[in-house]
Amino acid sequence: MAAEEATGGRMSLLEHLTELRRRLLQSILAVVAGAVACWILYPWILDLLLEPYCEIQGESAAGDVFGEGCELLVTDPLEPFSVRLTVAGYGGLALAMPFLLWHVWRFVSPGLYRRERRWAIPFVACGVLLFAAGATLAYWSIPRALGFLVDIGGPDLVSVFSPAKYLGFVVKMTMAFGIGFEFPLVLIFLQFVGVLHHTTLRRSRRYAIVGIVALVAVLTPSGDPFTLLILSVPMLLFYELAILVGRLRERRRNRT
């Protein structure tokens, strides 16, 4: 029993697959439950998502088209349904994030040492907080990204967005920032399971800088320099934080 605890326990391939199926099913049910809740709360969520558009719309010529409101232009009779379905789906994924992270940890925990399993709650809590912080930063930066994209075309162009295009932009920005802020958690976890070492991260710092900027350029749909900067800087800081955590962890293990 002591030896099994020291190695983190062992499971056969069939047991791993059975465990994976069970956790995937529970995760899917959590996402579906969150999507149902977001479907019901859709009017409130839509008002929240429209705030960045309303902020720039009042300063543009589009206000002359729609009056004082900040409505979106629907050109497809099926678009309202697809938009509500999209918002509910991504909202359900966001609401189920704590549950998903918990299942990820529980699935890999049998391969960890006993002392490393104690990090389950901090792992989930940090994952949720980082995702929320990234989504909040994205929400703050969306009006600035939209302002850049609207102004770059010149004063002769009037920007009128469709629901699918606009909400798709907002959702992609939010998810990109949320996933990007999970970056340090992934690096720290890979060090915990022995896949990475902090010295490897330190030696690869130059390549990491180029890779992070390129990844942010791909993840963010706006492509504007402001968004590129506002997400790249935190991810670079997170990279350095992961190196620091790895060094501190190694020092602590060497003392014991």
For 7-44, what is each residue's pLDDT tens digit?
Answer: 445 666 677 778 788 888 988 999 999 999 999 999 99
The residues, any chain, with a CB within 8 Å of residue 185's CB and separated by 6 or more, are 123, 126, 127, 130
Is the Cβ–Cβ distance between 166 and 72 less than 8 Å?
yes
Distance CA 162, CA 168 (A): 10
Distance in angstroms (rounded) separating the CA atoms of residues 106 and 85: 30
**Percent of the chain whose predicted confidence (pLDDT) is above 90:** 11
Can you tell me the distance from the alpha carbon of 82 to that of 102, in angstroms, rounded to the nearest whole number? 30
pLDDT per position as a tens digit, 138-148: 999 888 888 88
Residues 48-107: pLDDT tens digits? Answer: 888 888 877 655 544 555 555 577 888 888 888 988 998 899 889 888 888 888 887 777
Query: What's the pLDDT at 35?
Result: 94
Tell me the pLDDT tens digit for each residue of 187-239: 887 887 777 888 888 888 888 889 888 888 887 777 778 888 888 898 899 88
Q: What CA–CA distances, in Å, run from 232 to 59, 76, 177, 236?
A: 29, 37, 10, 6
Write down the domain spans for the chain: 2-255
- Continuous segment of H or E residues that includes residue 3: helix 2-7
Cα–Cα distance, 27 to 23 (Å, whole number)? 6
Q: What is the pTM of this model?
A: 0.75
CA distance linking residue 93 with residue 174, whole number of Å: 12
